[in-house]
Amino acid sequence: MYTIDLKRGTLAPTTYTRPQEPKPPYPYREEEVTFRNTAEGFDLSGTLTLPEGTGPFPAVVLITGSGQQDRDETIFNHKPFKVIADHLTRNGIAVLRFDDRGVGGSKGNVNGATTLSFAGDAEAAVTFLTGRPEIDPDKIGLAGHSEGGVIAPIVASRNGRIAFVISLAGPGVTGHDAIIQQNIDFFKVSGMSDEDLEKQLHMLRNIFRFVIAGDDQRTVAKEAMEWYNEELDAKGLTAEERREQMSGFAQALVQTNNPWWKYFLATDPAQFWGKVGCPVLALNGDKDIQVNHEQNLPAIKAAAKKGGNRKVKTVSLPGLNHLFQHAETGAITEYAIIEETFSPEVLDLMTVWIRKTIKVK
């Protein structure tokens, strides 16, 4: 029996300072919009910000990263897409940001959806903008963060009217290779020993092998569990050690054994980058432990150039993490405690590059 001593708390709730988050009144127009993914038959909701004046304006569609995100890509009380939209719109560029399917005001089914499905949502956003009289249909570009950096070239590879693509920490290699490198970087920052890291990577590589090769989720689960049981048989573990390791394996398998992971792990973005003919700006922080800049920036450039695109600029940004914050280590645990939402230098870099690329006066 335990004695619980309850006392009124004296600690104040955690508050976060987010100095970059824009507050009204804004020197531009902000409009709630709804547009339709006609291929799948559902509506998506978002925010369109328009510079002052009549236009027609150049425009950017912002595309979120993996996981279900709202239109601001809110994470750890940061709203990076709201900050980006504010900065670009103040500089004469309209911005459409929207809730992912199944989030906020957006409808649509997430079950069974893949990166390719989300590309359809982004295409619907582009189609919507082309029908707006305030928007120049020949100056619509895409800016995707993380997984959005794969979605953007998918859309641009299928739509020759896309004016430019910005990849913000987007992968240039298969999801398999990117996630393996992510684990190496993450656990090195966390202080994991080389021996334990190799065990982790061995487990992941084999889970990924089953997920990529399998067509039926139940068969994948059965075969993967049988394989891991045989692995554990050879280790001479205690019953408790075996339960602990089996639990970790099962959790990782449950997370990855679905259509999104299968597509993401197996798909090489090079096939899309090789068909992008418009100007490309690919950015990565050198402290990004989720999408490694040394692995992915050269891959994006090589794929685009192999397809004949010479209008490709890649930039590795010193001191920035996956969210483009100035960081000490790049660890995910820093995201919330850093007050900066998005590097001002990157905001300016994007703005200047867009205006020069599409010749905004």
User: Where do the structural domains in the chain lie, given as residue ranges?
Assistant: 29-173+268-357, 176-264
d(CA 210, CA 206): 6
Predicted TM-score (pTM) of the model is 0.94
Of 125, 135, 117, the closest CA to residue 58 belongs to 135
Find tokens 């069974």 and name the residue. Answer: 112
Residue 12's pLDDT band, with cuts at 50, 70 and 90, is low
Strand partners, 45: 34
Q: How far apart are CA 297 and CA 304, in angstroms?
A: 11
Mean pLDDT of 329-345: 97
- Tens of pLDDT, residues 191-211: 889 999 999 999 999 999 999
Give 235's pLDDT tier (boundaries 50, 70, 90).
Answer: confident
What's the confidence (pLDDT) of residue 13?
59
Residue 5: the pLDDT is 35
Residue 325 CA: distances (Å) to CA of 63, 125, 337: 18, 27, 11
Residues 161-195: tens digit of each pLDDT: 999 999 999 999 999 999 999 999 999 888 889 99
Taking the CA atoms of residue 146, residue 147, residue 148 and residue 150 in that order, the dihedral angle to the nearest 10 degrees is 110
The span from the CA of 300 to the CA of 273, in Å, is: 7
Q: 3-class SS at 145? A: strand
Q: How far is CA 89 from the centre of its chain?
A: 22
**pLDDT over threshold 80, residue 72:** yes
CATH fold group of domain 29-173+268-357: Rossmann fold (3.40.50)
